[in-house]
A and B are shown apart, each in its own frame.
Chain A
C-alpha cells in the first residue's frame, strides 16, 4: 500500500500540522512516511500545501506529480490539484471554502462542511482535525487510536490536554463527510 496525499489551503488553516499528525499516525501503524511542505517567504494568509506519503515500503520520491488523494481547502488549491489526481483517486473539499466544486467524474469527490461545523461549535482551531477525520473515514490509512497516539508524539506535553478535544473533532469529521458523486 502506498498513499500519496496532497493537502492544500491557506496558511493558518492547519494544513501543515494536519499533514504532520497524519504522518505520525502512519508511523504508529508501522508504515514508512514522508512529509514535504511547499515553503516560501513567511507570509500570514499565504498558500500552504504539504505532500504526505504513507507506504508499506520505503518511500522513494517524496516529490510526486500525481496524487491518490487531494484535500483542498480553498478554491485555488482545487483548481491546482484536481487535474493532478490519479484516475480513481479521491478529492476532499471544504464546502464553505469552495465555490466551484470539482468536475472530474473519474475521481470520487467528497465534501466536508468542516468550516461550518467548527463555527457552529465555536472552536475554529479544530477545523483541520474535522477534515482529517473526514479523510480517515474515506481512506482509513490509520485508526483513530493511532492518530491519537500520533498526537501524543506530535504535540508538546503542555498541549496534551487538548488531545481529547481533537479526538472528538476527528470522530465528528468522520460523521459529517458526504460523498458527492
Chain B
C-alpha cells in the first residue's frame, strides 16, 4: 500500500484546522505557541468568523504569528497591540479583534496600553502567553520571571533587591471594572488544552457580544530559554510556574 492510497478522507482521524496554512513554524520544539495558534484557528473556524476577524500580533516570539493563520493580521510595535486593537475595534465594532501578546509585550513595555485597554472595557480579547522569559531575544529576564529563576540578564537568579518582583498582570486585570473575563490556563496536557480552548472561545464570544475585555493568560513553556528538553520544561512549569501562577478563572462576570 502506498502513502497516497493511505491518505484518503475515509481514513482521516485528525486534521489541522483549515485556517492554519502550510508555512513551517519558527517555534522551537516543545513551545506552547504552536498549540495556542492551533486552538485560535479552531475557534475562529468553529465560530465561522474568518471574515470578521482582525488579529494583532506582538513583538516577541509570536512576531511572525501572521504567517501561520489565514486571517487578516496587524503586526503591532512592541507593547502597543492593545492600543492598536482598541482603535480597530471601535472602528469595526462588529468584528472580532484580538491581541496575542507575550509577557514582555503585555506586562512590561506595554503595561500601560494593556491596563488602559482593559480598563476602558474595550470589546476585545487578549491572549497572553506567559513563559516567564524573553524567548526571541535569547532568554533574558521577563516581568514574570520567577524569584530565583536564572536568565541571561539575571544569571544568578532573580533577586528582589536587584530585579524587583514578578508582575501579576492577570491578577491586576481581574480588579479592573472593564474586564468581564480573566482566566489563567495552560496547554501542557490534553485536558488543559481543552480547557484553554474553551476559555479562548469564551473570550472571543465575549468580544463579539460586546461584553467588555477578556484576558486569557496561558502559562507556557520555553524549553530553549529555560535550557531544558520539552519534557523537562513541562515538568518544570508544573512544579514551579503553576504554584506561582495558579490555573483557573480569576474573574467571570458572564457565566
Direct interface between A and B, CB < 8 A: no
Chain B residues with CB under 8 Å of chain A are none
Residues of A within 8 A of B (CB): none
